[in-house]
Amino acid sequence: MQQKIIILDFGSQTTQLIGRRVRELDTFCEILPYNKFPKEDPTVIGVILSGSPYSVHDPEAFKVDLSQFVGRVPVLGICYGAQYVSHTLGGRVEKADSREYGRAHLESVDTANPLFRGFDSHSQVWMSHGDTITQIPDGFEAIASTKDVRYAAYWCAAPLGSGGEAPLFAVQFHPEVFHTLQGKLLLRNFVVDVCKSRQEWSAASFVETTVAELKAQLGDDRVILGLSGGVDSSVAAVLLNKAIGDRLTCIFVDHGMLRKNEFRQVMDDYRGLGLNVIGVDASEKFFADLRGVTDPEQKRKIIGRDFVEVFNAEARKIEDARWLAQGTIYPDRIESLNITGKVIKSHHNVGGLPEEMNLKLCEPLKWLFKDEVRRVGRQMGMPEHLITRHPFPGPGLAVRILGDITPEKVSILQEADDIYIRGLREYKVKLSGEEARRVLAAGVPAEMQDGEIEVSLYDQVWQAGAILLSTVRSVGVMGDERTYEHPVALRAVTSTDAMTADWAHLPYDFMAKVSNEIINKVRGVNRVCYDISSKPPATIEWE
């Protein structure tokens, strides 16, 4: 019976990050809305309460009945979770004199307490709250403070009135973020030492268990999978291939707006993995239907519609198929909360398949985070360039060309993008501290030596690409001639989940080399710019 930690989401932006940190401890977890705690589930070994955008005093603040789990299993409240516990059990939470946000250092840490075992004195943590706890409930005791926060952490071995013996811990800082330097140790102390996790959740165990489950689920049925070239669908395909072999048929549609040589390269990769894959070159149809269209949303709708038509046409040829497989991963399925308290599902089903096809849905990666998908891919021996491939928009370069789409414009952008991406892969950098930890946590294969790791710029950033400003022309000079051609903008961001992103601070010498090479080698481009916008307020893609 698989153990699990339940993370109750009160709307924090870092709730998924808590889940990833628990999974890194080889422990399965589920993220659920604050009001959906699973009753009578013997597999639950602990509960974590997330942060929230609300104050506990707001009339619309999210509330949960703590008696469902307090005293029955160990509980860890984080930020709002810590304040909610204090407020609900008889403590006091008040508005702070000033919002406590950013780095702080722990003082008076009780390193004998199970939660802080192994902690350094003055360990750095990350605060992010407007309220603060001014009194903790009866029976609880403080176990850490900071210069400005008296109750940075508190606990009770057996909360009064709970009728149980499981401890309750609460911290007003965020152990899940990189800026809390020993946050992973704190979570390990809670998950492994306090909750007694057997740490049985791993890439190897996932592959073994999932292949067996797929064999039982699918039997002798045939399955169709739409491949995109991305890591999620590729790992899903390899898992299914291990389970059912050539009863899996993969369909890879080329809409003509992939990166340079990508269709051929990806097809070669898939065949090298032993996949039964059908490649469909439908670029003429897509270009014809996009002719003269400049509105970004209209472009996306046309490409989505055409993709479904092409995919359906191929799928219908597989008459005995019973299942549609997708590379849906856990963040796509998590029910997230907006500020109104409504549950929003971002499940990205392909959609559009006619009902008469009567296909059932198979999602072998539905419990995995992105970094776990990459670990599973490595466990199965997939090539590294497929596993570490950056996210790429479904409409491809169509949403990286401002203005209408033509084969000529796509060709220009493909050449510029190819120079940029190759350069990112070839340029090596050494990282240390928080940046090194962030990259390693994302699943990049690198070894720490003397406190440093060496990785490519490509592995350091979350996503990168070139954008063709085809609606703009700029004056330039090449040789003795005046030019009037298009600018190209380069984009690179760092992120953990694409919900927020910061522009990547790429080295100047790298930028100079790439700019020079693009201008010299790509006809139609005479200027290169770099996008230094973060998300929000900008988005990662331009359209």
The residues assigned a catalytic role are 79, 174, 176
Nearest to 472 by CA among 409, 522, 535: 409
- In the chain the first and final C-alpha atoms are separated, in Å, by 46
What number of H helices and E strands is found in the chain?
15, 23
Give the ranges where 432-483 is alpha helix by DSSP (H). 433-441, 457-460
SS3 of 385, please? helix
- Maximal C-alpha separation, the chain: 87
Decide if 10 contacts 50 (C-beta within 8 A).
Answer: yes
Q: Residue 450: how many CA atoms within 13 Å on its side-chain side?
A: 2
Decide if 174 contacts 79 (C-beta within 8 A).
Answer: yes
**What angle, rounded to 10 degrees, do the helices at 407-426 and 508-521 form?**
150
Distance between CA 479 and CA 469 in Å, rounded?
Answer: 23
Distance between CA 75 and CA 79 in Å, rounded?
Answer: 13
Distance between CA 87 and CA 81 in Å, rounded?
Answer: 10
Decide if 99 contacts 130 (C-beta within 8 A).
Answer: yes
Residues found in the chain: 543
DSSP 282: -
Decide if 438 contacts 494 (C-beta within 8 A).
Answer: yes
DSSP 204: H
- CB neighbour list of residue 234: distance below 8 Å, 6 or more residues apart: 227, 269, 270, 327, 377, 382, 386
Distance between CA 111 and CA 90 in Å, rounded?
Answer: 26
- CB neighbour list of residue 33: distance below 8 Å, 6 or more residues apart: 8, 9, 335, 337, 343
Q: Would you tell me how many other CB atoms lie within 10 Å of the CB of residue 386?
A: 21
Distance between CA 397 and CA 256 in Å, rounded?
Answer: 9
Nearest to 47 by CA among 89, 82, 16, 77: 77
Give the ranges where 225-369 is alpha helix by DSSP (H). 231-244, 262-272, 283-290, 296-316, 330-333
Q: Is 155 left (phi over 0), alpha (psi -120 to 50) or beta?
A: beta
Distance between CA 342 and CA 59 in Å, rounded?
Answer: 15
Distance between CA 3 and CA 201 in Å, rounded?
Answer: 9
